[in-house]
């Protein structure tokens, strides 16, 4: 178990903490997290704490791949774990925000459905001996979504103070890019087929 793989496993563990913090009914056991009023915006510290964990988890995504490439520790296990950890982190947060009413349910439905189709296409291509690298639109989708979700944990601050919906824009943009990248992956699959 090398360092990059440990960082990936840490991301999975941090994802579990985010699930627990965001969905556990703390109020039922008498625990209430402090809330703050920032220029008329009520900010729940529970989401700020979850956001810090989310940012740390997202940083491990950058670090594990970077360290693996620089130290020549890229492994098939690491590639598989990294893909699982990335999807788990983003998908869990999307579902959590949809459950809490922060985003429309259609966003995680489209995003996760797209990932499942792309995984099936990639698997079929791999079965045929064709390895598909991540494409640019997919990378843009992931980066936009991760940044948008990070901002949402922090109530879109400081942009919310000037009524600029950056988090919403990034999340909707990432959802559109997920459809664009699905079409591109489908076209790659169709050419090989």
Domain boundaries, given as residue ranges, for the chain: 3-192
- Look at residue 147 in the predicted model and tell me its pLDDT: 95
- Look at residue 79 in the predicted model and tell me its pLDDT: 76
Q: At what angle do helices 106-127 and 166-192 cross, to 10 degrees?
A: 30
Torsional class of 174: left (φ above 0), alpha (ψ -120 to 50), beta (otherwise):
alpha
- Look at residue 78 in the predicted model and tell me its pLDDT: 79
Query: At a CB cut-off of 8 Å and minimum separation 6, what does 168 contact?
Result: 103, 148, 156
- Look at residue 134 in the predicted model and tell me its pLDDT: 77
Could you state, in chain order, the average pLDDT of each consecutive group of 10 residues for the chain (193 residues)?
Answer: 88 95 92 93 95 94 84 80 87 94 96 94 88 84 94 96 96 97 94 83
- Look at residue 185 in the predicted model and tell me its pLDDT: 93
| Longest CA span, the chain | 58
- Look at residue 83 in the predicted model and tell me its pLDDT: 80
User: Is 1.20.120.1760 the CATH classification of the domain at 3-192?
Assistant: yes
Q: What is the pTM of this model?
A: 0.88
Q: Which H or E element spans position 38?
A: strand 35-38
- Look at residue 81 in the predicted model and tell me its pLDDT: 83
- Look at residue 51 in the predicted model and tell me its pLDDT: 96
Q: Are 98 and 107 in contact (CB under 8 A)?
A: yes
């Amino acid at each position: 178990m090398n360092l990059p793989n440990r960082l990936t496993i840490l991301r999975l563990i941090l994802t579990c903490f985010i699930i627990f913090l965001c969905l556990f009914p703390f109020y039922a056991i008498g625990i209430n997290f402090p809330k703050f009023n920032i220029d008329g915006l009520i900010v729940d510290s529970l989401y700020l704490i979850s956001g810090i964990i989310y940012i740390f988890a997202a940083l491990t995504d950058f670090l594990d791949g970077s360290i693996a490439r620089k130290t020549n520790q890229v492994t098939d296990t690491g590639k598989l774990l990294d893909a699982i950890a990335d999807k788990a982190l983003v998908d869990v947060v999307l579902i959590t925000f949809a459950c809490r009413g922060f985003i429309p349910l259609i966003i995680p439905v489209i995003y996760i459905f797209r990932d499942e189709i792309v995984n099936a296409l990639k698997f079929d291509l791999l079965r045929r001996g064709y390895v598909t690298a991540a494409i640019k639109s997919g990378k843009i989708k992931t980066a936009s979504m991760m940044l948008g979700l990070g901002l949402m944990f922090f109530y879109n601050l400081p942009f919310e103070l000037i009524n600029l919906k950056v988090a919403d824009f990034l999340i909707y943009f990432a959802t559109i890019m997920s459809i664009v990248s699905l079409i591109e992956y489908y076209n790659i699959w169709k050419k090989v087929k």
